[in-house]
Amino acid sequence: MHILLCEDDDLIASGIVAGLNAQGLTVDHVATAAAARAMVLAAQFDVLILDLGLPDEDGLTLLRQLRQNGLELPVLILTARDTVTDRVAGLQAGADDYLLKPFDLRELSARLHTLIRRVAGRSVNLIEHGCLTYDPSSRETLLAGQPVDLSRREQALLHALLHNHGRVLSNEQLKDSVYGFGDEVESNALNVHIHHLRRKLGHTIVETVRGLGYRLGPADAKSTGPEAP
């Protein structure tokens, strides 16, 4: 899951980034509304965590404008403003959820997962795909009931594919899901992760769509293991 965090308080922001990173989530952090606007245009995110009191513009103004421009990204507002009027204003501006400061990181994380699930139209936490089961909260992956050990990047890649079931994702879109902006990405890094995912979850799990990118293919417990020489 790739998250954009717009928060001008460095202390709060670094706590959120560290906490969510530790749970295997990729987080990009910006501190102004202008930077957030540029980021959502430049890359694909799964959720925007938006502080309302920003130095250059009110978060609600930004949110309203993003919604007017057709942005459908789920948005979770983070704020110290706790009157009913504030909450209603946030929801009317297009927020999907609302978390009051100070908050517990575990609650933030739980809300993020709920939000993604709701947007994806799923009512249960587990994503099932053939003989593959993936739990976005615990990041536990089961293939035909057997646990599979995936690295953080492999989990992010799998989540992006499952989340976009049936859709072709370009190289760039997949990189956006797996890496943050600050991460140094070797040119063949994505291919390496795809190779590992195929080795662990069956060679058909990632389909190459020539010239366009990749899409989720069937999970196949029988075709895992070392490739034939």
Among 8, 57, 86, 140, binds Ca ion (CB under 5 A): 8
Among 28, 46, 51, 97, binds Ca ion (CB under 5 A): 51
d(CA 132, CA 143): 5
Between the alpha carbon of residue 81 and those of residues 28, 87, 144, the distances in Å are 24, 8, 47
Q: Which of residues 98-127 bind Ca ion (CB under 5 A)?
A: none
Smallest gap from Cβ 5 to Ca ion, in A, equals 12
Residue 132 DSSP class: E
User: Which residue lies nearer to Ca ion by CB, 19 or 53?
Assistant: 53
User: Which residue lies nearer to Ca ion by CB, 8 or 135?
Assistant: 8
Smallest gap from Cβ 92 to Ca ion, in A, equals 20
Strand bridging mode 97-100 / 75-79: parallel
Q: Name the segment binding Ca ion (CB under 5 A); options: 7-15, 25-33, 110-118, 205-213.
A: 7-15
Among 19, 53, 130, 213, binds Ca ion (CB under 5 A): 53
Under 8 Å between Cβ of 13 and 21: no
Smallest gap from Cβ 78 to Ca ion, in A, equals 8
User: Which residue lies nearer to Ca ion by CB, 8 or 140?
Assistant: 8
- Beta carbons within 8 Å of 176's beta carbon, 6+ residues apart: 2, 43, 44, 45
Residue with tokens 């890496």: 179
Smallest gap from Cβ 46 to Ca ion, in A, equals 22
- How many chain residues bind Ca ion (CB under 5 A)? 3
d(CA 160, CA 154): 10
> Per rule CB under 5 A, is residue 57 in the interface with Ca ion?
no
**Angle, helix 84-92 to helix 59-68, in steps of 10 degrees:** 30
d(CA 102, CA 79): 8
Q: Name the segment binding Ca ion (CB under 5 A); options: 42-50, 51-59, 65-73, 132-140.
A: 51-59
Smallest gap from Cβ 26 to Ca ion, in A, equals 22
Q: Is 7 helix (H, G, I), strand (E, B) or coil?
A: coil
d(CA 158, CA 198): 10
User: Which residue lies nearer to Ca ion by CB, 14 or 151?
Assistant: 14
Smallest gap from Cβ 10 to Ca ion, in A, equals 10
Smallest gap from Cβ 51 to Ca ion, in A, equals 4
Instruction: Provide the binding-site residues for Ca ion, judged by CB under 5 A.
Output: 8, 51, 53
